[in-house]
Chains A and B, each alone.
Chain A
Amino acid sequence: MAWGVIRSAALRWVLLGAAAVVMLVFLAAQRQTTEVSYGDSPTTASLRSSGEPDGVTVPSVEEMTALVAANPVVRLPGAIATWDEDRVRAAIGDADVRILVAPPGLDEEERDRVSEVDDATVRVIGTDVSGGLYGAVPDRLSGWRTQFATGDVTDLIVTIVAALRDEPSPDDVDPVRWREPTAAELAAVADDLRATRVHVAPGATLDRTPPDTAAFEDGLYAAFPRQPVDAAIPNYGPALAALFPDRPIIVMYGDWIEYHGPHQAEFAEIAGASFYAQFGDRLSRSAYPQDNVLHAYLSRVTEIRYAGIFDRALPYVPWDPLRVALPALPWIFAACVAGFLALSARELRPRPPRRRTTPAQLAGLAALAVEMSLLTDRAGDAPLTRGIAQLAAARKALSDGLPESHVRELLEDASRELDDAARSLPYEGLRPDDYLAERLA
Chain B
Amino acid sequence: MSLSGLVWVVGGAALVATGFLAAYLPARRRRARERAVAWSTARAAIDRAGVSRDAAQARVEEAERLLARAELIAADRGGVDAARAATDYARTADQLWRGA
Nearest-CB residue, chain A, relative to B97? A382
Q: How far is the CB of B51 from chain A (nearest CB, A)?
A: 5
Q: How many A-B residue pairs have CB under 8 A?
A: 83
Tell whether, in the assembled complex, residue A390 and residue B36 are in contact, meaning their CB atoms are under 8 Å apart. no
Asked whether A403 is an interface residue with its Cβ less than 8 Å from the other chain, the reply is yes
- Choose from B14, B22, B40 the contact partner of A402 (Cβ within 8 Å): B40
Binds A, one of B41-49, B69-77, B78-86: B41-49
CB closest chain-B residue, reference A388: B51
**B4-33 to A contact mask, C-beta < 8 Å, 1/0:** 110110011011001001100110010001
Q: Does B37 make an interface contact (CB < 8 A)?
A: yes
Interface-forming stretch among A41-49, A136-144, A343-351, A428-436?
A: A343-351
- The reply to whether B48 and A389 form a contact with Cβ atoms under 8 Å apart is yes
- Find chain B residues with CB under 8 A from A334 CB: 7, 11
- Considering the complex, give the chain A residue whose CB is closest to the CB of B4: A330
Q: Mark A386-400, 1 if CB is under 8 A from B, else 0.
A: 100110111011001
Shortest C-beta distance, B25 to chain A (Å), equals: 5
Contact status of A340 and B48, CB under 8 A, knowing A393-B40, A397-B40, A403-B33? no
B51–A344 contact, CB under 8 A? no
With a cutoff of 8 Å between Cβ atoms, the chain B residues found around residue A393 in the complex are: 40, 43-44, 47
B52-A23 in contact (CB<8A): no
Query: In the complex, are the beta carbons of A406 and B51 less than 8 A apart?
Result: no
Which of A23, A26, A393, A413 has the most chain B CB within a 10 Å cutoff?
A393
**A19-B15, A337-B11, A347-B22 known; A400 and B48 CB under 8 Å?**
no
Instruction: Give, as a whole number of angstroms, the nearest-CB distance from B11 to chain A.
Output: 4
Q: Which 9 A-B pairs have the closest CB atoms?
A: A382-B55, A393-B44, A330-B4, A330-B7, A389-B47, A337-B11, A385-B51, A406-B37, A386-B51
6 contacts between A and B (CB under 8 A): A386-B51, A389-B47, A389-B50, A390-B47, A394-B44, A413-B48
Q: Which residues of A contact B (CB under 8 A)?
A: 16, 19, 23, 26, 327, 329-331, 333-334, 337, 340-341, 344, 347-348, 350, 381-382, 385-386, 389-390, 392-394, 396-397, 400, 402-403, 406, 409-410, 413, 417
